[in-house]
Amino acid sequence: AQSVTQLGSHVSVSEGALVLLRCNYSSSVPPYLFWYVQYPNQGLQLLLKYTTGATLVKGINGFEAEFKKSETSFHLTKPSAHMSDAAEYFCAVSSRSQGNLIFGKGTKLSVKP
Amino acid sequence: DSGVTQTPKHLITATGQRVTLRCSPRSGDLSVYWYQQSLDQGLQFLIQYYNGEERAKGNILERFSAQQFPDLHSELNLSSLELGDSALYFCASSVVWGAGELFFGEGSRLTVL
């Protein structure tokens, strides 16, 4: 079975500060990993994904994540937070033989001016 | 705009009633997924269809059922509704079955009174 744990249900940063959202996964097969963002009253939008190949993945809006197999982690980072980054972020895991995504419980990011 | 259309956007009904949520996937997408999002449970995978056939089942209650029609749209039927069924129900679609990016609709918010 696969699972995802997101550390911290709420993270608050100042505008211009580093954003770090943590995600650890559990999977008995090579995982495919995703980060989605949800703005208020909207659906989920893909930020970035890792399937195979390069372990440092760049996504939209300046976000990136690094797949670390030894640490079973896929943390999301952004060097400088912007007010528009305030949203809820979900980490998800899947695999080659699995169609659906298993989501973590989400981390709500607040950005202070 | 993800290209996934869900109707209705909002629905208020009473306990014991039955409702149907509708989803039109992106043009060309063969896979449809249903998720339930609630404050206490987070994003829970319910069920997946691929080209009209059920491919995976998650935490879907027996009171809930779904189907995908020949034109690829899908419906989620919720019956004998309980207060705890109040949630945001998302539909997502993907081109292929297996670890592809999921495109989410904006959701149907169900309130059971």
Judge: A43–B107 Cβ closer than 8 Å, yes or no: yes
Per-residue pLDDT tens for B66-104? 999 999 999 999 999 999 999 999 999 998 766 678 999
Q: What is the mean pLDDT of residues A72-93?
A: 96
**Residue B59's pLDDT is what?**
84
Q: What is the mean pLDDT of residues B9-24?
A: 97
Per-residue pLDDT tens for A33-77? 999 999 988 899 999 999 888 899 999 999 999 999 999 999 999
Ranges A4-8, A29-33, B22-26, B76-80: which has the least confidence: A29-33
Residue B17: band (very low, low, confident or very high) from pLDDT cuts 50, 70, 90: very high
State the Cα–Cα distance between residues A36 and B29, nearest whole angstrom. 19
Instruction: Give the Cα-Cα-Cα angle B18, A43, A14 (nearest 5 degrees).
Output: 135
Q: Which of A49, A96, A104 sits opposite B101 (nearest CB)?
A: A49
- Omega of the bond prior to A30 within 30 degrees of 0, cis? no
Whether B106 and chain A come into contact, CB under 8 Å, resolves to: yes
pLDDT above 70 covers what percent of chain A? 100
**Residue A32's pLDDT is what?**
92
Return the percent helix, strand and coil in chain B, to nearest 5: 5, 55, 45
Judge: B99–A51 Cβ closer than 8 Å, yes or no: yes
State the Cα–Cα distance between residues A57 and A7, nearest whole angstrom. 20
- How many cross-chain Cβ pairs, A to B, lie less than 8 Å apart? 61
Q: Which of A43, A46, A96 sits opposite B101 (nearest CB)?
A: A46
In DSSP notation, B5-29 reads: EEE-SEEEE-TT--EEEEEEPPTT-
Q: What is the mean pLDDT of residues A76-105?
A: 92
Which chain B residues are closer than 8 Å to A103 by Cβ? 35, 42-43, 45
Whether B4 and chain A come into contact, CB under 8 Å, resolves to: yes
Q: How far off is chain A from B57, nearest CA to CA, in Å?
A: 9
Q: How many residues does chain A have?
A: 113
State the Cα–Cα distance between residues A82 and A18, nearest whole angstrom. 10
A38-75 in b/e form (b: 16+ CB < 10 A) is: beeeebbebbbbbbeeeeebebeeebbbebeeeeebbb
Q: What is the mean pLDDT of residues A19-26?
A: 97
Say if residue A97's pLDDT is above 80. no
B30, B104, B108, best to mutate vs chain A, most A CBs in 10 Å: B104
Q: Which of A42, A95, A99 sits opposite B55 (nearest CB)?
A: A99
Which chain B residues are closer than 8 Å to A104 by Cβ? 42
Say if residue B1's pLDDT is above 90. no
